[in-house]
Homo-oligomer: A and B are copies of this chain.
Amino acid sequence: MPSHRRQLHLNLFLMGVGHHEAAWRHPRTDPANLSSLAHFQRLAATAEAAAFDSVFLADGVEGPDPARANAWIGHFEPFTLLSALAVGTERIGLIGTVSTGFTEPYNLARQFASLDHLSGGRAGWNIVTSAGDRAARNFNRSANQEHAVRYQRATEYLEVVRALWDSWEDDALLLDRASGRLTDPAKLHEINHSGEHFQVLGPLNIPRGPQGHPLLVQAGSSADGRGFAAANAEAVFTAQQTLEEGQEFYGDLKRRAAALGRDPEGIVVLPGIVPVLGSTEAEAKALDQELDELINPARAIGTLSVLLGVDLSRHPLDAPLPPLPPLDAINGAKSRFTLVRDLAERDGLTLRQLVGRLGGGRGHQVLAGTPEQVADHIEQWFTRGAADGFNIMPPILPEGLELFAEHVVPMLRERGLFRHEYTGRTLREHYGLDRPANRYTSVNQ
């Protein structure tokens, strides 16, 4: 293969003992692994041995609602877990989800810079704006901000964070013993940001990291989310159910980026897929069905009620959905609302059927089949303009990852789609993305 051939990217989506809602009930998982560092270390090591680009950690800042059965599962906080995983791995990227809604930009900029240093340039930030009033109520607010306001705040937030990452020029740290000059004050910069949401002096209290800026990832697919991604993101995580929808999203995002003067290749599009693997298609479908049958309907219906903005707890399981609120009334995950609504309409699903469909994928595409069928799907989306790679969301862990690494990855390599080993050291190098220039550094130096 010529080395410049376009290469596929693979992230491992880290979600407890598996992405399926009922993974923890399956006899081939161990629910105690939900709070076991060793479990996550094993997942990261397996993904690194398969030369995955990154592990990708979802997150939220909302505790379980005691009044609902959809109790959210407690898990490790991203900066702590990813820092622990930086030790014992050497190449794999470490992407953490953190909201712009509930953290100070100075703290976030610093924690990501620190992770980038600790890991030798492997940090990535999945930027979310947070949804849900219960999260807001943990942070001095009575309700979450409006969707559009959240994106405005996120845009200013990101501007602050980027300026802080540039506030030390790359050669600001002198460590000159002879002269006693620890830093070069001319290369340290107050950012003096004063905007609608933030006033931040700077500089940051940690030197610029190995990647300059940690990789910027974004995961919202609404109109606001696409605009934000086109302007700012270097990788986009998305849920797309059909090839056509995937192509539409992919093309739209690349065009939006190009219209803003960006290189479309500088924004990597990564749909999520749930590979339910079996040595035959029947075996895979049996596992899928086995998992769906383990779903606790009350817990799943509670989750769905929050997502769709209607109380479904007394709705008949075998009836179609009741009328849903208009999109404007949804102040949460707008693109996920649309996706679920359209899925139920398109396939004429009852509540019970919808719960089953969502339990595995949570809106992402579930592929129950043989390794070859999964590899075919990946190749098709990759070569037909719907994906630059995928977030792999195994239904049960670690088994689902180990099967993917053992059976699917070799096929992708035989087809010339995926690397045999790492060629770079940093996450940016894995994705083929440049190290950002520092805004304060004169090009004539």
User: Which of A84, A110, A137 is most buried by chain B, counting CB atoms within 10 A of its CB?
Assistant: A84
For the complex formed, measure the closest distance between the CB of A210 and the CB atoms of chain B, giving whole angstroms. Answer: 10
A376 at the interface (CB under 8 A from B): no
A140 at the interface (CB under 8 A from B): yes
Q: Does the CB pair A77–B182 fall under 8 Å? A: no
Q: Give residues 60-113 of A contacting B (CB, 8 Å).
A: 60-64, 66-69, 71-77, 79-81, 83-84, 86-88, 102-104, 106-107, 110-111, 113
A150 at the interface (CB under 8 A from B): no
Closest residue of chain B to A88 (Cβ to Cβ) is B87
The copy count of this chain in the complex is 2
Q: Does the CB pair B175–A24 fall under 8 Å? A: yes
Which of A193-201, A227-235, A264-272, A414-422 lies at the interface?
Answer: A193-201
A190 at the interface (CB under 8 A from B): yes
User: Which of A141, A175, A294 is most buried by chain B, counting CB atoms within 10 A of its CB?
Assistant: A175
For the complex formed, measure the closest distance between the CB of A282 and the CB atoms of chain B, giving whole angstroms. Answer: 25
A375 at the interface (CB under 8 A from B): no
A11 at the interface (CB under 8 A from B): no
On chain B, the residues within 8 Å of A139 by CB distance are: 104, 106, 200
A162 at the interface (CB under 8 A from B): no
In Å, the complex CA distance between A3 and B67 comes to 48
Known contacts A69-B185, A296-B180; is A199 also within 8 Å of B140 by CB? yes
A403 at the interface (CB under 8 A from B): no
A10 at the interface (CB under 8 A from B): no
Q: Does the CB pair B61–A106 fall under 8 Å? A: yes
Give the size of the chain A interface in residues (CB under 8 angstroms): 79
On chain B, the residues within 8 Å of A86 by CB distance are: 37, 84
20 A-B contacts, Cβ less than 8 Å apart? A61-B205, A63-B167, A63-B188, A63-B202, A63-B204, A64-B188, A64-B205, A66-B188, A69-B185, A71-B183, A74-B168, A75-B206, A77-B79, A77-B113, A79-B80, A79-B83, A81-B83, A104-B138, A137-B200, A140-B198
Q: A76-B118, A77-B111, A87-B88 known; 20 other A-B pairs, CB under 8 Å?
A: A22-B180, A24-B175, A35-B207, A61-B106, A61-B110, A62-B205, A63-B202, A66-B189, A69-B185, A76-B114, A77-B206, A81-B83, A81-B114, A83-B84, A84-B87, A84-B118, A103-B107, A106-B139, A139-B200, A140-B200
Counting from the closest, the 7 A-B pairs by CB-CB distance are: A180-B296, A83-B83, A77-B114, A137-B201, A63-B203, A87-B87, A71-B183
